[in-house]
Structure formats: C-alpha cells, structure tokens
Amino acid sequence: MNKGRGGVGMKSALILVLTLPLLAGCAAAGAPVAAAAPEPTQSSSPSPSSSAAVPEIATRDANIGSAQTAATVAPVRLSIPQLNIDMRIDAMGLDGDGAMALPDNASDAGWYKFGPGVANDAGATVIAAHVDSRHDGIGPFSRLKDASTGSIISVAGSDGSTVDYVVTEVRSVGKIDAPMAEVFDRAGDPRLTLVTCGGDFDSSTGHYIDNIILTAVPAGT
C-alpha cells in the first residue's frame, strides 16, 4: 500500500461487510481509500515526487467483524532477511470510509487488529503497508514481490515472543479480483498474509492496478 491510503472502515456492529480497499486503491497520498478488502499489487512503481500521486493499496469486499479475536498477541515488528526488510508494525483498525487504515509512512506496516494476531491457532494475521509514499519514497513492501518460496519471516509479538513463518506463495492480483474473504479469513489454518500495492500505476486514477499478496505459514508446520 502506499502512504496516505486508507484502510478498512469499521462500524460498531458485531459483523460488518466491508469493502476494504486494502490493496486495491493505492490513491494519492492524503486521499482516503474507499472501503474495500485488500488486494495485492505488483510493482512498477514510479519514482515518487512531491507532485506525483502516491498510490495506496485497496481491499475488496469482505465480511469482517469489528470484534477482535480473543487472546490475541499484537505483532509489533516484522523481519524478512532475504529482502532486507525490518519494519515496525502498528495496530490499525478501520478508517471513516470503511477501509483498513494504514500508517502514513511506507516505512511502517499496519496489522489489522480485528483479526488474528501472533501465534493464533486459526485464521490469517493480516499485515499491510503502502508500497511508497511522498515522504518515504519507495517503501520496504515494494520488495514483497521478490520473496522466494521458503524464505523466513520473523514476527515479534507485544509479549516478547517471536514467531517464524515460511513463505509459501507470492502472487499479484488485480484489485478487482483480489480474494478479500480469503485474505481476512479468521478460520482455517493459521497463516501470515502480507499485502501491498503493485502492478502498473494508473496516473488517471492515482492508483496502482494490482495488489501483491504474500502468504506464509508457521515454521515447522
């Protein structure tokens, strides 16, 4: 995702259908991203400039409840040695437009705090970040597309624990086709899902056309 892009809008209802543009939107910095589920994007990232719109990641429609999963441990830092990525993780909810909120800086990642956290026994732990921003330029998540299957991702939890994950898949998906229900799934085997924007940058809309989605599973499983 890119800096300034919005996140997932959240209502006070127990279950909420969100159109999270987690990775689909990638709009100009400062412009809110319509509520939609995150979509992966490739990266043909243009060199950011103070005048250029900074794309953000959008998400697709997804049924996402606002109630946080029980006994979850918040991830606070993420490291991917193969890609030279070491990022702080902030807990993020939904913005006023019903999209998953993201840190403004492309150098920081956001964890969807209403989903599974570190070492949960089921569901996807979703962490997303802008692919670039006016302030930071090209961000660390711009390298997600280059991750190799089998690469190790270490996620530190707020309780001092560290969980290692093994990359199983990296894919580029058009924002329109992004599998939001799968990305934000709270059931099924435990896994880590990283999302950002990618693909070509559409200057007419100020967004990247794709989302990059990386999936990893706990090491040793």
pLDDT values of the chain reduced to their tens digit, one per residue, 221 residues: 655 443 333 333 223 333 344 544 454 333 333 333 433 333 344 444 333 334 444 444 444 454 555 568 999 999 999 999 999 999 999 988 888 899 999 999 999 999 999 989 999 999 999 999 988 899 999 999 999 999 999 999 999 999 999 999 999 999 888 898 899 999 999 999 999 999 999 998 888 999 999 999 999 88
> Within 10 A of 43 (CB to CB), how many other CB atoms are there?
25
Buried b / exposed e across 54-76, counting CB within 10 Å, b at 16+?
Answer: bbbbbbbbbebbbebbeebbbbb
pLDDT of residue 134: 87
pLDDT of residue 68: 54
Of 21, 38, 27, 22, whose CA–CA distance to 208 is shortest?
27
pLDDT of residue 160: 97
Backbone dihedral angles phi then psi of residue 177, each to the nearest 5 degrees? -100, 5
Model confidence over 125-134: pLDDT tens digits?
Answer: 999 999 999 8
pLDDT of residue 98: 84
The answer to whether the CB of 210 falls within 8 A of the CB of 176 is no
pLDDT of residue 10: 32
Model confidence over 36-81: pLDDT tens digits?
Answer: 343 333 334 444 433 333 444 444 444 445 455 556 899 999 999 9
d(C-alpha 127, C-alpha 194), whole Å: 5
Buried b / exposed e across 203-214, counting CB within 10 Å, b at 16+?
Answer: eeebbbbbbbbb
Superfamily of domain covering 15-218: Sortase (2.40.260.10)
17 burial type by CB count under 10 A (0-12 exposed, 13-18 middle, 19+ buried): middle
The domain spans of the chain are 15-218
> Reduced to 3 states, what is the DSSP secondary structure of residue 145?
helix
